[in-house]
Each structure stands twice: as C-alpha cells, then as structure tokens.
Amino acid sequence: MSPIWLYLHFPNLQLNTLFSGNTGSHETLPVVVLDAKKNQVCQRNGSARKLGIQCGMGLATASSLSQQLQVVSYCREVEESQLNVIAETLYQLTSDICFFQPDGLALRIHNMLNLYGGLQPYWNMLREHLTRLHIEYQASTAWSPLAARVMARNQINTISDQRDNIKTALGQCTIDSLDIHNKDKQKLKRVGLHTVADIVALPLKDIARRFDSYLVTYLGRLKGELHHPLPFFHPPEYFYRYLELLYEIEKTDTLIPPVKRLLNELESFLKIRNHTTSELTLTLYQRDHTPLEVTLGSAQCEYRAQSWLKLLSLKFESVTLTAPVYAISIRVDKLQELNPVRQDMFAGKQAQISTLQLRAILEAKLGASAVQQLCYVSEHRPEYSQKQVPLSDTDVDAASVDILPDRPGFLLSEPLPLQEKVTVIRGPERISTGWWDNQQAVRDYFIARNQFGQLLWIFRTPHNYWYQHGLFC
C-alpha cells in the first residue's frame, strides 16, 4: 500500500487554548496573539478578522483598528503543550503521530485505513474528535509528511488517497510556501520555476547539479522518493494539563468551570487507559504570589470528573486565594487499575455511596486530620492503650488479646487533678508498668461517684495525689 500521510495544521493554536467562560462573549471581543519579538500579530479571532486586523500587522496598527482589542503575547510552550494534548486525543485513533513543532501534527494513516474501512470513515472519525477539542485546523493528505504539510499550510484541504488529486492540489502551491532557504527560493524563481508542480516535474539528479544537498533532500522527501525518518509520539504515563485563563479569577466559585474542563480531560485520559487515581494536585497560579497547591485525595480511586468536582468544591470552601488566579494546572502521577467496588445485589440495605467515598468527602471538607480511626494497642497504661490513626493507615490491628471490661468509655486527654468530693465504689486496681521506657506509671485506680451521679475513673499516685482519668459514660 502506498503511504498516505495526513497533516494537521493549527493556525490559531494558542488563541483556541485560551479559556473564556462562555464562548459567546469571547467571540464578540477581538483577541489577537502578538509575537513580541517581531511585533507582529500572529493569531487573531473571528471578530478581529472582521475589524480588518491581518496577521503580520504591528501592534500599533492593530490597536488603532479597535479600542477593545485584547492582546495576548505569543508563548511557544503553550502551543507545544497543547499539541501534546491533541496528540494524546488522536492517539486513540492513530498509532503513528509525529510532531511538527509548534503548530502541526503529521499522522501516518495508510496502516490505519483497513481498520476504519477507508479514508472517508477514518477522516469522519478524526474530525469528530477534533471538533470536540474546539480548535481550528487545516488538514490535508499526501504521499509524504512534507507534502501534506505544504498543502495544509496553504489551506488546500484535500482529503484524498488518489495520487492525481494530490498531485494537482500540491502543484498549485507556490515556491514561497516551501520550507526552504530564501536564497534557494530566489534561485528557483530566477530559472522560471514558480509552483511546486514545476519543481516536482524535474528529476532530482538535475536539481542536485545546481542546488545544495538540503534542497535536494527536502524535495526528495516532499516527493516521497527519499526516506524521511520521524520520531513517533508516545503517550506519557502521567497526566498534566495547564490552562491559562483569559481573565483573572478572584473567587474559588468561579474557578469551578475551568477546573471542570480540565477534570473532563482527566476523565477521558483515565477512561481510555482503564485507570483511576486516588490523588490529584491542582495548582492555582496567583498573580505576583507563589502558586497555591491544592492536593485532593479520594480513598476510593476515582476517574469521574463529577466525583472529583464534588470533592473539589468542598475543598475550595477552606481555600483562600491571596491574589487573583491567572492559570491553573492539574497533575496526576499515580494511576491505578480500575477496580470497581462490587456490591451484593441481594444485600438488604444498599449504600448510596461507599465507605471510602464517604471518607473522601469528609476529608475534603474537614481536613484529613479531623477524620480518624480508632485502634487498640495491647498496653496497660490507658493513655497508650489506643491510638487514633489517620485513615491512610488502613491496617488497623484489631487483635484483642485480653480486654478488660471495666474500663471507662471516655478518657481525658491527660489526667486532671481531682477537685471534688467522691464516693469510692470499687478499687483499688494497681497499674505499675512502663519502667522500661522512662514513662513509668504506678497508679491505684478506683471507680468513684461524685455528687452529680457521674461515674469517674480516678487514680492515686504513690505520693497520694488524686487524679481523674476517665468517665464511665
């Protein structure tokens, strides 16, 4: 099968990445992306185009055309990371993806067509995925990645596997649209070659006689006669998304919609891999302040955006922003296999949510230290006979050796001097232990009743001091 490559060119990649609350108002305001080095407008949205703003214009000219012009400075990193996101999405459909930084992707598709039953069904599927990303694109197919690139960048959107169609479409392109040195372009024009069709008609041998090896290699690859080695994309093992906001946000409530967008991306990321995660880190980049990191845990591994959003909105109640937020990012490092909790269908009482989900909800709102589990330690000193462990330590050892039944229900966090008149009901019970760890306790414990009828657990030290240590609730 002859090779077919599909090239996707994203002319307004950074512009499409910007988050705006509702697309309606976003469209009405003219937005341009300005390349600060060249002082040229490099991307513009629909309303900026209507106002007559052209790519390549200076900032002064552009801003004189509109009062409300929103200017964003060009950032190559944003485009590169967004390209990664697109590649990850398309990886579901195609195995071989190559990057053409910063704004293009080449897909080797001829080996995928059998699976999809032809070019047209494949293209429909691809288009569906691209539409969901809300990113403008130009696409074209050709026999080599470079040829497809030239066509896509020239807005010749030809999706075809017929060699003749591709040849005529490619032939229309001018010499200027090729990725070659300006010097070579001039030379080619001087000998009367103006379109790609003119050059492609010449044999490579003849070109090699007059031009340098770079141009020869380029044309050879363009024509598909020379091999073009390309590194293919491998999807990363972790999830990271960065989202820059079109406007700064000062309230955590208004942060929910952009975060939701990222969580939806996380959901599809996890869903494809059949994975879940127990922890995610949300970073809020604050203007002139250190970024705020919010770590969110869920004891029951989750992948659904809905569940994470619920936990997050609870967490946001206790988060205070020191400065407006201009960008957010979500990072997930640990992935687990999806392991659904099974419930007995015939069990009498069905829980709405599982125990682990309940813990996650409680921890998100009250903080991890507020939710604890009780754990017994075989020890005679009452203050050491139990531990309250955070829930992350799941292996609570409940092996009860010998439990004494006559112990109070409530223990004071530390013994208090006894300050009231009591009647002793039972005692003494001597506890003398701990000589080995410098926390020696020699105590005679009594059960006593005070004037209100409360049952107290009190003890006497060898020096005849009396303390209250518990309450029989």
Partner 1 sequence: MNSLLSYLKNKQLVWHGSHQCAAMPDTSRSGYPELDNALHGGLPEQGVIDICSITGIGECRLLLPHIAHQQQQHKRLLTFIAPPYRINAELLLAQGIDLKQTLMIYPDSPEHALWAAEQCLASGSCCTVMLWHQALTIHQVKRLQLAARKGESLQILFRPEQQQQSLPVTLGLQLQPHSNGLNARISKQKGGWPGEFFSINMRTRWPWLYQRPQPDNLLHFPRSRAS
Q: How far is the CB of 80 from partner 1 (least distance, A)?
A: 43
| Entry field: residues in the chain | 473
Q: Report residue 472 CA to chain centroid gap.
A: 52
- Determine which helix (DSSP H) or strand (DSSP E) holds 416, and give its type and residue range: strand 410-417
What's the min distance (Å) between Cβ of 17 and partner 1?
38
- Which of 2, 320, 339, 388 is in the footprint of partner 1 by CB under 8 A? 388
Kindly state whether residue 373 participates in binding partner 1, applying the rule CB under 8 A. yes
Structure-token pair, residue 13: 């990649």
Using CB under 8 A as the binding rule, whether residue 408 contacts partner 1 is answered as yes
- Residues paired with residue 284 on neighbouring β-strands, in sequence order: 292, 328
Q: How far apart are CA 12 and CA 42, in angstroms?
A: 8
**In the range 304-323, which residues lie near partner 1 by CB under 8 A?**
none
* Angle 82-85-90 from CA coordinates, rounded to 5°: 130
Query: Residue 218 belongs to what H/E stretch?
Result: helix 213-223
Packed helices 163-171 and 145-153: angle between N→C axes, nearest 10 degrees: 50
What's the CA gap between 178 and 222, in Å, rounded?
Answer: 10
- Taking residue 296's Cβ as centre, other Cβ atoms within 10 Å add up to 20
Rounded to whole angstroms, the Cα distance separating 163 from 223 reads 11
Q: Which is nearer to partner 1, 133 or 411 (CB)?
A: 411
Residue from 1, 60, 191, 473 that binds partner 1 (CB under 8 A)? 473
Q: Which is nearer to partner 1, 24 or 348 (CB)?
A: 348
- Least separation in angstroms between residue 350's CB and partner 1 is 7
Q: Which residue has the tokens 């080095």?
A: 37
Task: Give the separation between CA 243 and CA 240, rounded to whole angstroms.
Answer: 10
The dihedrals phi and psi of 340, each to the nearest 5 degrees, come to -65, 145
Nearer to partner 1, 91 or 376 (CB): 376
376 near partner 1, rule: CB under 8 A: yes
Stretch that binds partner 1, among 46-54, 75-83, 211-219, 347-355 (CB under 8 A): 347-355
419 binds partner 1 (CB under 8 A): no
**What is the pattern of x (binds partner 1, CB under 8 A) and - over residues 423-442?**
--xx----------------
Instruction: Name which of residues 442 to 471 contact partner 1 (CB under 8 A).
Output: 447, 449, 452-456, 470-471
Residue 412 interacting with partner 1 (CB under 8 A): yes
Distance CA 460, CA 457 (A): 11
CB of 401 to partner 1, least distance (A): 10
When asked if residue 175 is in the footprint of partner 1 (CB under 8 A), the reply is no
Query: C-alpha 421: how far from its chain's center?
Result: 64
Is there binding between residue 374 and partner 1 (CB under 8 A)?
A: yes
The token duo for 448 is 């006593």
Residue 406 binding partner 1, by CB under 8 A: yes
Q: What is the C-alpha separation between 259 and 432, in angstroms, rounded?
A: 58
By CB under 8 A, residue 352 contacts partner 1: yes
Residue 371 contacts partner 1 per CB under 8 A: yes
Q: Among residues 36, 168, 366, 428, which is the contact residue for partner 1, using CB under 8 A?
A: 366
Name which of 117 and 405 has its Cβ closer to partner 1: 405
Count of residues that bind partner 1 according to CB under 8 A: 54
Positions in the binding site for partner 1 (CB under 8 A):
348-355, 357-359, 361-362, 365-366, 369-376, 382, 385-386, 388, 396, 398, 400, 403-413, 425-426, 447, 449, 452-456, 470-473
